[in-house]
Structure 1
Amino acid sequence: MRVPGPIGVRPMGKVAVSFRIMPEGVEVDLAKLEAAVRKSLSTKLKKLDVKPVAFGLKAIEVIAVMDDASGEMEKVEAALGGLPGVGGVETTEVTLL
């Protein structure tokens, strides 16, 4: 079968990734942590919410949109995990756009 037209490289698709960012403890200033997350993700950030977890501990839930390239999600997760005051980062959902 012949396909008319040039054959080229198609651009990568986009994915929406949900992360749950847990602070090191209840004493962490969530406003500063939230600002650091916003700065770290900049153009990728689509949504940021602070949700209660248990006993006064709150988590930051983030949705970021990025290219569906190999290693991109891991780079973002590592960058978020390296922020001061972050106890852990968990990828909770990945969906194609």
Structure 2
Amino acid sequence: MGEVAVIIKIMPKSPDVDLEALKVSIKEKLPGTQDMVVEPIGFGLSSLKVAIVVPDAEGTTEEAEATLRGLEGVESAEIVSVTLT
């Protein structure tokens, strides 16, 4: 089995969520994190797009998504794309 690159869009609960602190939490919980980009949404709210590499095994992408949803300050986490590396 190989690996897959997953891009997940993370929406914070409010514009007051510290995205830099959230980035640190993400790197601690998901060691396969490759890149994180802040995307402005509007009215002071921004999302994070996170690129991670996980093993190509059943359930690993959903596991990563669930881990991100469990972080403090995260409203939602949605897989945007998955591709083989």
Structure 1 length normalisation: TM-score? 0.84
**Match in the other structure for 2:8:** 19
For 1:48, the aligned partner's letter is: M
Give distance in 1, aligned partners of 2:59 and 2:44: 34
Q: Point out the structure with max Rg over C-alpha.
A: 1
**Pairwise CA RMSD:** 0.8
Cα deviations by residue, 1:25-78 (Å, 9 ceiling, x for unpaired): 111111211111111112x11111111111110111110011110011111100
Aligned to 1:48: 36
Q: Within 1, Cα distance between the matches of 2:9 and 2:53? A: 15
Q: Which runs of 5+ in 2 are unaligned?
A: none
Structure 1: distance between partners of 2:27 and 2:2: 23
Q: Which has the higher strand share?
A: 2
Q: Does residue 26 of structure 2 align to residue 37 of structure 1?
A: yes
Q: Which amino acid aligns with 2:64?
A: V
Letter in 2 for 1:94: V
Query: TM-score, normalization: structure 2?
Result: 0.95
